[in-house]
């Protein structure tokens, strides 16, 4: 039983103290009795002192010592129920599962749990049928890649499948462990927590703890603020008081939970989010921390002062008090289809009226009828677009107030964001990335996972077509661009609009542009419509719903559906004439001073 004498067993130091078997002074003692069963583990987990290649002391698991105690005496002391449950920690060894039988007689008087590494589904099911109340199979790693690095065999997906099958067969009686700080992002960690919780599994969250003699002895523990965010995310998911779709991440870091300051503070007020998680009555004192050191998992109820301090810090982190983007309610305008000049006039009018403080931040969704080619502010329509080809195909043309390259607006949906610079602080690239979170969540809503374009994947050289060249701030799906965005700032207001491709017709775009180097094959390799990537048709209405949900989730805002106000309509009617005049064909240097 992890010791040579079959009449002895290893108990955690705190357990041995609770049972009166050793003298131990500690501020907090365990509420669960922990025993380590089995000889040296056959597995080689890089963080574990019991791993086969570990050079750690044989009596360690995590940073806790496990002294040998007499088996009969331990069971006799347990019969008086000085603890609320028994947890048996099994190594992956031939004798581990057999040793459990010695404790099963206790199951009628005290709950017995098993945390097992290396047992199969049949063994787990037998233990649950034989009286074990709960069983835990440690997944430990939040991603398959990290699992392969720190745990090896079997694969992450095999362990996950075992967990899911057990959870379906024994609802409410199966759990797992996840270790934070092995190299995963907060987004990866919480996405896995969400999957496990939705499967019905209990998740015990651990902070990685380096132990001398293990392969990861030199890796530091995760930063406490990061671990606190993971605890909050886990708490919201397991209690049902939050939803992963409402979480917002920036570069893998959790930045918002979908709850405002007051609601988040209220949910966290009792401090339960920061306590040891896992099976009921499991407090694991000093498993991840030294007595008197930084407390990752509180092994007891928090004092009012502790709870207030932890809640205040995490609320300030995840729901900052600022009168800007995060605390604003936006207007949603769904305009339908309109001619090119009217669409550009409306976007500009919304920006000018918002600069006067008459309207809230706005997301506008619209289409183009008839189809149109728009070019960026710095481009010349006459030089970039084959106007004769457009006339033959019934396609309008217009120059946008924002930058970028040429786009064919036909089988796509266009969005326009109007927001003050004070509500979305940062330089041009920072605001592009901020708004890209809304687009990323919109694509996720449709079933596509987008990532920022890799620096090495950005094509070099000039192109007339927006969708041939992804910019530094843009997203790609499977290496192909599906949405293009452009921005202009004027009078303290950001106007950003872009096009989400529902279908992509590179042959048609090549016919409408004058760029002789442009080919359909090259465009098709670098861009795609969402319908092609999903293998199904995506309608305009579905895309509009996805954009609304994505911007709400990605920017942590809420929407009130509205319409253009009288000032916007009046100004758009005036601006429309400018976008319809021949001067719109020329680049900005040839225009009058009043033209955008």
Range of the domain at 521: 325-453+461-585
Estimate the crossing angle of helix 304-318 against helix 261-268, to 10 degrees.
150
Global pTM reads 0.59
How many CB atoms sit inside 10 A of residue 458's CB? 13
The total number of structural domains that make up the chain = 1
| 169, part of any domain | no
Residue 561 CA to residue 331 CA, distance in Å, equals 6
| DSSP state, residue 568 | H
Residue 589 CA to residue 596 CA, distance in Å, equals 11
Would you state the pLDDT for residue 506? 86
| 577, part of any domain | yes
279-320: per-residue pLDDT in tens?
999 999 888 887 777 889 999 999 998 998 899 889 888 876
Low-confidence ranges of the chain (pLDDT < 70): 1-6, 320-328, 425, 454-473, 582-596
For tokens 């920690």, the residue is 89
Rg (CA), the chain: 30
Residue 107 CA to residue 5 CA, distance in Å, equals 24
For tokens 């949906």, the residue is 413
Would you state the pLDDT for residue 47? 92
| DSSP state, residue 528 | -
| 372, part of any domain | yes
DSSP string of 64-89, one letter each residue: EE--EEEHHHHHHHHTT-SSSEEEEE
450-498: per-residue pLDDT in tens?
888 765 444 444 555 555 555 656 789 988 899 989 899 988 899 999 9
| 291, part of any domain | no
Residue 386 CA to residue 383 CA, distance in Å, equals 8
Collapse the DSSP code of 486 into the 3-class scheme (helix H, G, I; strand E, B; otherwise coil) and give the result.
Answer: strand
Would you state the pLDDT for residue 595? 26
Would you state the pLDDT for residue 294? 81
β-strand pairing of 480-481 with 475-477 = antiparallel
| 101, part of any domain | no
DSSP string of 8-56, one letter each residue: EEEE-HHHHHHTTSS----SS--SEEEEEESSS-SS--TT-TTSTT--S
Would you state the pLDDT for residue 457? 44
| 482, part of any domain | yes
| 270, part of any domain | no
Would you state the pLDDT for residue 286? 85
List the catalytic residue out of 48, 113, 279, 466: 466
| 349, part of any domain | yes
Residue 514 CA to residue 88 CA, distance in Å, equals 73
466 is a catalytic site residue: yes
> Is the CB of residue 77 less than 8 Å from the CB of residue 32?
no
DSSP string of 235-267, one letter each residue: HHHHHTSS-GGG-EEETTEEEE-S--HHHHHHH
Collapse the DSSP code of 278 into the 3-class scheme (helix H, G, I; strand E, B; otherwise coil) and give the result.
Answer: coil
> Is the CB of residue 31 less than 8 Å from the CB of residue 282?
yes
CATH number of the domain within which 338 lies: 3.30.930.10
């Amino acid at each position: 039983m992890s010791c040579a004498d079959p009449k002895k067993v290893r108990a955690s130091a705190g357990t041995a103290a609770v049972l009166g078997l050793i003298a131990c002074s500690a501020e907090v003692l365990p509420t669960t009795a922990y025993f380590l069963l089995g000889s040296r583990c056959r597995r080689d987990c890089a963080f574990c002192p019991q791993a086969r290649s570990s050079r750690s002391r044989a009596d360690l698991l995590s940073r806790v010592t496990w002294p040998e105690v007499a088996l009969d005496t331990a069971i006799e002391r347990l019969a008086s129920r000085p603890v609320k449950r028994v947890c048996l920690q099994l190594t992956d060894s031939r004798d581990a599962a057999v040793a459990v039988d010695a404790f099963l007689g206790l199951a009628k008087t005290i709950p017995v749990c098993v945390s097992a590494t290396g047992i199969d589904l049949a063994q787990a099911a037998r233990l649950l049928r034989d009286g074990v109340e709960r069983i835990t199979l440690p997944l430990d790693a939040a991603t398959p890649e990290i699992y392969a690095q720190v745990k090896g065999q079997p694969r992450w997906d095999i362990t996950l499948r075992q967990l899911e099958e057990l959870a379906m067969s024994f609802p409410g009686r199966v759990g797992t462990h996840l270790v934070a700080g092995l190299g995963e992002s907060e987004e990866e960690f919480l996405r896995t927590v969400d999957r496990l919780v939705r499967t019905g599994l209990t998740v015990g969250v651990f902070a990685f703890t380096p132990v001398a003699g293990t392969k990861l002895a030199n890796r530091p523990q995760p930063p406490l603020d990061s671990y606190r965010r993971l605890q909050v995310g886990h708490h919201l998911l397991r209690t049902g008081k939050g939803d992963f779709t409402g979480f917002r991440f920036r570069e893998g870091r959790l930045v918002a939970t979908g709850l405002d300051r007051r609601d988040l503070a209220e949910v966290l007020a009792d401090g339960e989010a920061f306590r040891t998680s896992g099976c009921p009555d499991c407090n694991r004192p000093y498993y991840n921390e030294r007595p008197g050191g930084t407390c990752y998992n509180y092994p007891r109820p928090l004092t009012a002062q502790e709870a207030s301090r932890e809640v205040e810090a995490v609320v300030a982190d995840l729901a900052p008090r600022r009168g800007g983007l995060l605390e604003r309610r936006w207007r949603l305008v769904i305009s339908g289809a309109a001619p090119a000049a009217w669409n550009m006039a409306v976007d500009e009018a919304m920006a000018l009226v918002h600069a006067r403080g008459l309207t809230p931040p706005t997301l506008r969704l619209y289409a183009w009828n008839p189809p149109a080619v728009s070019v960026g502010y710095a481009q010349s329509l006459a030089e970039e677009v084959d106007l004769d080809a457009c006339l033959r195909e019934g396609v309008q043309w217009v120059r946008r107030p924002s930058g970028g390259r040429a786009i064919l607006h036909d089988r796509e949906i266009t969005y326009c964001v109007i927001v003050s610079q004070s509500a979305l602080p940062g330089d041009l690239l920072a605001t592009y990335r901020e708004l890209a979170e809304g687009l990323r969540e919109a694509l996720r809503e449709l079933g596509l996972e987008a990532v920022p374009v890799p620096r090495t994947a950005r094509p070099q050289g000039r192109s007339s077509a927006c969708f041939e060249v992804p910019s530094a701030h843009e997203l790609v799906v499977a290496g192909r661009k599906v949405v293009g965005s452009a921005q202009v700032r004027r009078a303290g207001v950001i106007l950003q609009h872009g096009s989400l491709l529902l279908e992509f017709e590179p042959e048609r775009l090549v016919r409408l542009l004058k760029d002789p180097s442009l080919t359909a094959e090259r465009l098709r390799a670098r861009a795609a419509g969402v319908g092609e990537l999903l293998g199904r048709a995506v309608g305009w209405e579905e895309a509009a719903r996805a954009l609304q949900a994505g911007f709400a989730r990605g920017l942590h805002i809420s929407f009130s559906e509205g319409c253009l106000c009288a000032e916007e309509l009046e100004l758009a009617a005036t601006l429309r004439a400018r976008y319809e005049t021949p001067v719109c064909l020329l680049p900005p240097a040839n225009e009058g001073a009043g033209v955008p």
